Amino acid sequence: MSLLTFSGGIHPYDGKDLSKDKMICEYLPKGDCVYPLSQHIGAPAVPLVKKGDRVLVGEKIAEAGGFVSANIHSGVSGTVKTIEPRMTAGGTKVNSIVIENDGEFEEVDFRENIKPLDRMYREDVKEAIKEAGIVGMGGAGFPTHVKLSPKNEDAIDTIIVNGAECEPYLTSDYRRMVEIPEKIVKGLQIVINLFDHAKGIIAIEDNKPDAIKKLTDLTKDIDNITVNPVKTKYPQGAERQLIYANTGRKINSSMLPADAGCIVHNIDTIVAIYNAIIEGRPLFERIVTVTGDAVEDTANFRVRLGTNVQELIDAVGGFNIEDPGKIISGGPMMGKAMFSLDVPIVKGSSALLCFREDIVSASEPSNCIRCGRCVEVCPGRVMPNKLALLASNGDMEGFIKYDGMECCECGCCSYVCPAKRHLTQIIAGTRKQILADKKK
Amino acid sequence: MEQTMKISSSPHIRDKETTANIMGQVIVALMPATIFGIYNFGIKAFITILITVISCVVFEACYQKNMGQKVTVKDLSAVLTGLLLALNLPPDVPFWLPVLGSFFAIIVVKQLFGGLGQNFMNPALGARCFLLISFTGRMTAFTYDAVTTATPLASLKAGESVDVMSMFLGTTAGTIGETSAVALLIGGLFLLATGIINYRIPVFYLGSFAVFILLYGLAQGRGIDISFLMAHLFGGGLMLGAFFMATDYVTSPITPNGRILFGILLGVLTFLFRIFGGSAEGVSYAIIIGNLLVPLIERITVPKAFGKGAVKHE
């Protein structure tokens, strides 16, 4: 049987061996925790606490600033030190609540949040998910309760759990799947039951056979859940490509997954839904893979949100080189390079990837030789070389005409370019500009 | 915190393949044909190759230096152009001829249009055609074993019989690198296997050419004439052209469907030139004309973006 997949894509060195066998272990922060009020797509959250207030683990410290927004909960107990702009991994300063950690980790009583599932209406479940501050944890940070409230609920027939984890080096979703598969299945069932006609698919790249086996065994008696092995290829876990591989339906940049009858959730998002509904625990922790060739050891940490990145680096024994070339928040294909380690872990922080050498600054762009590799690998089926040329000529009309807006910024074109041209960067920058112009 | 970390836009990893690497692999793929050419035609062929390669590199370096540009001869593209041009020259040429050809290839066709990636026709082929038109006598005087002879294709055109086996092996008259179909096929398969070239252009080029040759045989009442087909496939510059010239990145379409169209176009043109043209050979001109049509071919073969025209699922 040929595996489910899409056209295009690349096979970079996956680096997963570095950390894939490291059991998830809890890391409790020692220092202050910082909570940016904007760590999701949509309106910033509004603080509910003020300087000097004492807060507990799991206490809501900021409230959604609109429907498309999300609550924020503290991961530590302690005192609110200040609310001020702080640096984030993305390199911008964001207004943040800073909590002085008292090291007690005194929790609110989560049992109060728990209601028997069979006595919850669908709206109650969605409300509980909203209350728990859950957002898409693959990195984009789209509020989950919004995703679960599509315009036409009857059209939703497929809930896809994204276990592809196609970004090289990342192993957090893999660890979740092999360590707590039953919570993933239960979490998925909660989501499936929100819709009348939905079935569930857990899509996993075939380089994770043990995860596929565990989840297949667990779901063999569940009629409405199937486990789909998908081909190991980047970007198999990109939303549009994943939907196509599993359902044969295509959507473009101006459509939502719901337009293909699908809702796609990241593994950690599903676990967060389980924690919120079954255990009454809001979102205040996540799994972060600390890896790369520049750290002494690697780890898959269960980390409290707000934890300082430097602490996690120290927790694996620090760097094995005085001057690491590059530290990336997230994976190597779509993650963000950081210039400071004094930033907090947020809901979308999937990994800290530390490279001894920065391969990008070591390679200098030269002339395009029109080899066509970018066209061949582009999962969006556009012509990156042409788009980059139009973009650098400032030809916005041409850029749109050649479907530049269909680019998902996956990075495949820059990766394969033998002339080392920064195709993704040029195209992404132009897309951003066009989107900004549209809003005016 | 005192840390000097580099930041840049994603992605943060890059494939190992570089321009120089690719050019190097094409040069390696040309080695069987090059070595056979030297074996077949002797030391003179070796000297011609050396002169062409060196003058291409020197012209490129001098031009870039004088224009205040970065000298990029390390990307091996000038070496490759030189080698391809040499393989397209008869073994017995005066030494000034390859130098003049190199000048035309590197300066006129490549650098004056903006350097690597900007030329609108294949530099080596452009130079060959320039020499062919300017010095027709010298460019079509073929000797083999010190005897002036016609190339197999010319014999074929004159209605004489040819030995297909020696054409396959390459022990015939012709340009330095074009005679041995088997040596070129080995190189071509290497390029296909390593993914340096895509199958579309050579397959559709050779395929469409073969179809038309067979149809021509049928129309002439000779039935399915396999030996005529083989002589045409192994003769002249077809193998060299199909695997190494038509697939030149810069001057061939970048779109998948464009490559198919380009291949078919070359097959048709080569057929027309060889059968109905004045000269026995037609590959070089077919590819040059194809090169000129590349922008148009690309325009009509823009791939359909993923999800374009998708309809909502109800």
Distance from CA of A342 to the nearest CA of B (A): 8
Which of B1, B2, B5 has the highest number of chain A CBs within 10 A, making it the mutation to test binding with A?
B5
Q: Which residues of A touch B21 (CB under 8 A)?
A: 418
Report the pLDDT value the prediction gives residue B1, as an integer from 0 to 100: 46
The rounded distance, in Å, linking the Cα atoms of A406 and A387 is: 11
The rounded distance, in Å, linking the Cα atoms of A360 and A50 is: 43
B303/A375 Cβ within 8 A: yes
> Any bridge partners for residue A84, and if so which?
A96
Query: Span B91-109, mean pLDDT?
Result: 95
Query: Span A217-223, mean pLDDT?
Result: 94
- In what helix (H) or strand (E) does residue A360 lie, and over which residues does it extend? helix A359-362
A359/B302 Cβ within 8 A: no
pLDDT per position as a tens digit, B222-252: 888 898 999 999 998 999 999 999 999 999 9
Phi (first) and psi of residue B308, to 5 degrees: -70, 130
Through-space distance between the first and last CA atoms of chain B, rounded to whole angstroms: 55
Confidence band (pLDDT; 50, 70, 90) for B59? very high
Closest CA to A345 of A410, A401, A301, A292: A301
Flag whether residue A235 sits within 8 Å of chain B, measured between CB atoms.
no
The rounded distance, in Å, linking the Cα atoms of A75 and A60 is: 10
Confidence band (pLDDT; 50, 70, 90) for A323? confident
Confidence band (pLDDT; 50, 70, 90) for A113? confident
What percent of chain B is predicted at pLDDT more than 90? 79
Evaluate the omega torsion of the peptide bond into residue A235 and state whether it is cis, within 30 degrees of 0.
Answer: yes
Query: Span A283-298, mean pLDDT?
Result: 96
Entry pTM? 0.92
Q: Which residues of B touch A379 (CB under 8 A)?
A: 306
Confidence band (pLDDT; 50, 70, 90) for B3? low
pLDDT of B146 higher than 80: no
pLDDT per position as a tens digit, A31-46: 999 999 999 999 999 9
Through-space distance between the first and last CA atoms of chain A, rounded to whole angstroms: 50
Confidence band (pLDDT; 50, 70, 90) for A112? confident
Flag whether residue A95 sits within 8 Å of chain B, measured between CB atoms.
no
A180: tokens are 């707590």
Residue A416 near residue A373 (C-beta atoms within 8 A): yes
Q: Which residue of B has its CA nearest to A357?
A: B6
A368/B5 Cβ within 8 A: no
The rounded distance, in Å, linking the Cα atoms of A110 and A281 is: 6
The rounded distance, in Å, linking the Cα atoms of B65 and A326 is: 35
Confidence band (pLDDT; 50, 70, 90) for A339? confident
pLDDT of A2 higher than 70: no
Query: Is ipTM beyond 0.95?
Result: no
Pairing of strands A351-355, A285-291: parallel
Quickly count helices (H) and strands (E) in chain A: 14, 17
A434: tokens are 């066009």
The rounded distance, in Å, linking the Cα atoms of B26 and B302 is: 27
Pairing of strands A262-266, A285-291: unpaired
Residue A13 CA: distances (Å) to CA of A17, A139, A356: 10, 21, 16
pLDDT of A440 higher than 80: no
Distance from CA of B212 to the nearest CA of A (A): 29
Report the pLDDT value the prediction gives residue A18, as an integer from 0 to 100: 95
Q: Which residues of B touch A368 (CB under 8 A)?
A: 117
Q: Which residue of A has its CA nearest to B251?
A: A370
Across the interface, which of B13, B249, B254 has its CB nearest the CB of A359? B13
Distance from CA of A3 to the nearest CA of B (A): 19
pLDDT of A370 higher than 90: yes
User: Residues A127, A133, A139, CA angle at the centre, nearest 5°?
Assistant: 130
Query: Span A127-147, mean pLDDT?
Result: 92
Query: Span B133-147, mean pLDDT?
Result: 87
pLDDT of A396 higher than 80: yes
Give Cα B221 distance to the centre of its chain.
Answer: 33
B12/A326 Cβ within 8 A: yes
Q: Which residues of A touch B308 (CB under 8 A)?
A: 252, 403, 406
A301: tokens are 């940490």
pLDDT per position as a tens digit, B67-77: 999 999 999 99
Query: Span B126-139, mean pLDDT?
Result: 93
Query: Span A192-200, mean pLDDT?
Result: 94
Query: Span B96-118, mean pLDDT?
Result: 96
Query: Span A128-140, mean pLDDT?
Result: 92
Query: Span A378-401, mean pLDDT?
Result: 95
Q: Which residue of B has its CA nearest to A415?
A: B14
Q: Which residues of B touch A86 (CB under 8 A)?
A: none
Pairing of strands A158-163, A262-266: parallel
pLDDT per position as a tens digit, A52-106: 999 999 999 999 999 999 999 999 999 999 999 999 988 889 999 999 999 999 9
What percent of chain B is predicted at pLDDT more than 70? 99
Which of A14, A295, A371, A422 has the highest number of chain B CBs within 10 A, making it the mutation to test binding with B?
A371
Report the pLDDT value the prediction gives residue B150, as an integer from 0 to 100: 84
Pairing of strands A326-329, A351-355: antiparallel
Report the pLDDT value the prediction gives residue A1, as an integer from 0 to 100: 46
Report the pLDDT value the prediction gives residue B160, as an integer from 0 to 100: 85
Across the interface, which of B10, B303, B313 has its CB nearest the CB of A411? B10
